[in-house]
């Protein structure tokens, strides 16, 4: 079993055993306050192999977020093969996202910083804007909101921070997204991809996903082609 698969199953089991049932804005959940783990070799161990995943959609999401074209509509995600952002678009697909508004200038700045001074300890991307925290100006508030990059002996490492984690659907996609950010920066800056620590808060499994979560715990990597359906929550 891969390092990632093993650590992911440990997290799911921990939530099912120790999570507290709690009502949330879109249903009910089992929730734990925090959890962290590190994948030591993101280059070779960044994909979950216990169920089919739509990696093309996550890649399309990444390509849209880093595009130079201002992000204003769901159709821009869909044009790159990412169809799930329609859950958060307005009546005509309009979007307002700090995922783009805060990310775009910060990502360019970090890349330039790494090129100029790779050994600096200030390679930080922060997406969380407190002015938007409790208003309705955003289509979706940032779940992953902080990247801290470190360069050690030509290897790029990342600490990825999330304030809220949908463990069954969101987290596997977020881990692949973290790899895509690392790969993007590493290629531009002529670095190798190293480790990623995931620092997670409010980590939850929706109650309607519990049955499939228990089934997932019985699986091995030989079960990759078996289907598991999870409803993505808007």
143 is catalytic: yes
Instruction: Give the Cβ contact number of residue 142 at 10 Å.
Output: 21
Q: pTM for the full model?
A: 0.95
d(CA 8, CA 15): 11
Q: Is residue 229 part of a domain?
A: no
Q: Is residue 114 part of a domain?
A: yes
- Active-site residue identified among 24, 82, 142, 143: 143
Q: Is residue 111 part of a domain?
A: yes
- Specify the number of domains making up the chain: 1
Q: Is residue 86 part of a domain?
A: no
What pLDDT was estimated at residue 1? 64
Q: Is residue 78 part of a domain?
A: no
What pLDDT was estimated at residue 121? 97
Instruction: Please write the tens of the pLDDT for every residue from 39-83.
Output: 999 999 888 878 888 899 999 999 999 999 999 999 999 999 999
Structure tokens at 16: 């099912």
More confident of the two residues 234 and 130: 130
What pLDDT was estimated at residue 178? 97
What pLDDT was estimated at residue 234? 67
Instruction: Please write the tens of the pLDDT for every residue from 139-167.
Output: 999 999 999 999 999 999 999 999 999 99
CATH number at residue 163: 3.30.572.10
d(CA 77, CA 57): 9
* Domain that includes residue 132, residue range: 3-53+101-223
Given a cut of 80, whether residue 225 has pLDDT beyond it is: no
Q: CA nearest 207: which of 179, 168, 174?
A: 168
What pLDDT was estimated at residue 98? 94
Q: Is residue 206 part of a domain?
A: yes
Q: Is residue 166 part of a domain?
A: yes
190 φ/ψ sector (left φ>0, alpha ψ -120 to 50, else beta): left
Q: Is residue 129 part of a domain?
A: yes
Instruction: Please write the tens of the pLDDT for every residue from 165-191.
Output: 999 999 999 999 999 999 999 999 999
More confident of the two residues 100 and 53: 100
What pLDDT was estimated at residue 189? 98
Mean pLDDT of 107-130: 97
């Amino acid at each position: 079993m891969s390092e990632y698969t093993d650590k992911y199953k440990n997290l799911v089991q921990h939530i099912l055993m120790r999570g507290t049932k709690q009502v949330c804005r879109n249903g009910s959940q089992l929730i734990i306050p925090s959890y962290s783990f590190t994948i030591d070799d993101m280059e070779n161990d960044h994909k979950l192999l216990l169920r089919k995943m739509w990696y093309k959609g996550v890649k399309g999401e990444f390509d849209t977020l880093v595009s130079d074209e201002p992000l204003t509509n769901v159709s821009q995600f869909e044009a790159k093969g990412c169809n799930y952002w329609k859950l958060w678009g307005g009546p005509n697909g309009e979007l307002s996202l700090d995922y783009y508004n805060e990310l775009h200038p910060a990502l360019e700045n970090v890349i330039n910083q790494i090129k100029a001074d790779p050994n600096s300890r200030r390679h930080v991307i922060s997406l969380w804007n407190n002015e938007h925290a409790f208003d309705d100006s955003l289509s979706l508030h940032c779940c992953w909101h902080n990247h801290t990059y470190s360069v050690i002996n030509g290897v790029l490492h990342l600490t990825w921070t999330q304030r809220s984690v949908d463990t069954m659907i969101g987290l596997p996609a977020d881990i692949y997204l973290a790899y895509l950010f690392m790969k993007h920066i590493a290629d531009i800056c002529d670095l190798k991809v190293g480790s990623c620590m995931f620092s997670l808060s409010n980590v939850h499994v929706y109650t309607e996903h519990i049955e499939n979560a228990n089934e997932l715990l019985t699986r091995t990597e030989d079960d990759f082609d078996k289907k598991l359906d999870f409803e993505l929550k808007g």
